[in-house]
Amino acid sequence: MHTDVPNSPEPIAQVTSGMRVIDPGGEEVGTVIAVQLGDPNAVAAQDPPSGDGVLGDGVPHTATGDEPDVPPDLAARLMRTGYLKVDSRGFLAHDLYIEADQIAKVNQDVVELTVDRNRLLPESR
C-alpha cells in the first residue's frame, strides 16, 4: 500500500503542528510548531512611506502573534509566501522558519525539505 500523501501544488497546505522536519540528507531539523499559509496580498517590503498609519520597520501581526520573528523584509516575504515555524533540535538552538518553497514533500507525519538546515532562517530572539 502506498502511504505518501499525494503532492499538491502547495505542500505547505498538508503540514500540521507536531510533524517532524528532515533535511535532504534525512537529518532531523525539528518539529513544526506553527503553520502560516501564504497571503499574496500581505504587506510588501518597500521603502516606507511617511505619515500616520505607516508600518515603519514593522509588519502586521499575524494569527500566530508577533510572527514571524525575523527582520521586516524577510517577515513580509514569509507572510506572502507562507512558512513553517520549527522547534529546532539542540541545546540553546533558535526556532527556525521554513519558506513554503523549501518544502519538497510531506510524507505521512514528516516534512521533507529541499535545503539543508544551515539555509533556514533563525528566529531573531
**pLDDT score, position 89:** 74
Residue 110 falls inside a structural domain: yes
Residue range(s) defining the domain that contains residue 109: 11-41+57-122
Number of other residues whose CB lies within 10 A of the CB of residue 38: 19
Instruction: Count the domains in the chain.
Output: 1
Residue 54, beta-bridge partner list: none
Residue 52 falls inside a structural domain: no
| Nearest to 103, CA basis, from 5, 4, 3, 10 | 10
**pLDDT score, position 94:** 84
- pTM for this one? 0.73
Q: Grade residue 1 by pLDDT with cuts at 50, 70 and 90.
A: very low
**pLDDT score, position 67:** 75
Report the C-alpha gap between 45 and 74 in whole angstroms: 8
Residue 47 falls inside a structural domain: no
Task: Report whether the peptide linkage leading into residue 68 is cis, meaning its omega lies within 30 degrees of zero.
Answer: yes
Residue 3 falls inside a structural domain: no
Q: What is the pLDDT of residues 49-85, one digit of tens each?
A: 444 444 444 444 444 456 788 888 889 999 999 999 9
Q: Grade residue 43 by pLDDT with cuts at 50, 70 and 90.
A: low
Residue 88 falls inside a structural domain: yes
CATH code of the domain covering residue 62:
2.30.30.240
Specify the DSSP element, H or E, that contains 76.
Answer: helix 72-81
Q: Grade residue 39 by pLDDT with cuts at 50, 70 and 90.
A: confident
Residue 6 falls inside a structural domain: no
CA 111 to each of CA 63, 73, 78, 121: distance values in angstroms, whole numbers, following the listed order: 22, 26, 18, 16
CA dihedral 53, 59, 60, 62 (to 10 degrees): 180
| Nearest to 83, CA basis, from 59, 108, 48 | 59
Q: Grade residue 92 by pLDDT with cuts at 50, 70 and 90.
A: low
Residue 65 falls inside a structural domain: yes
Residue 64 falls inside a structural domain: yes
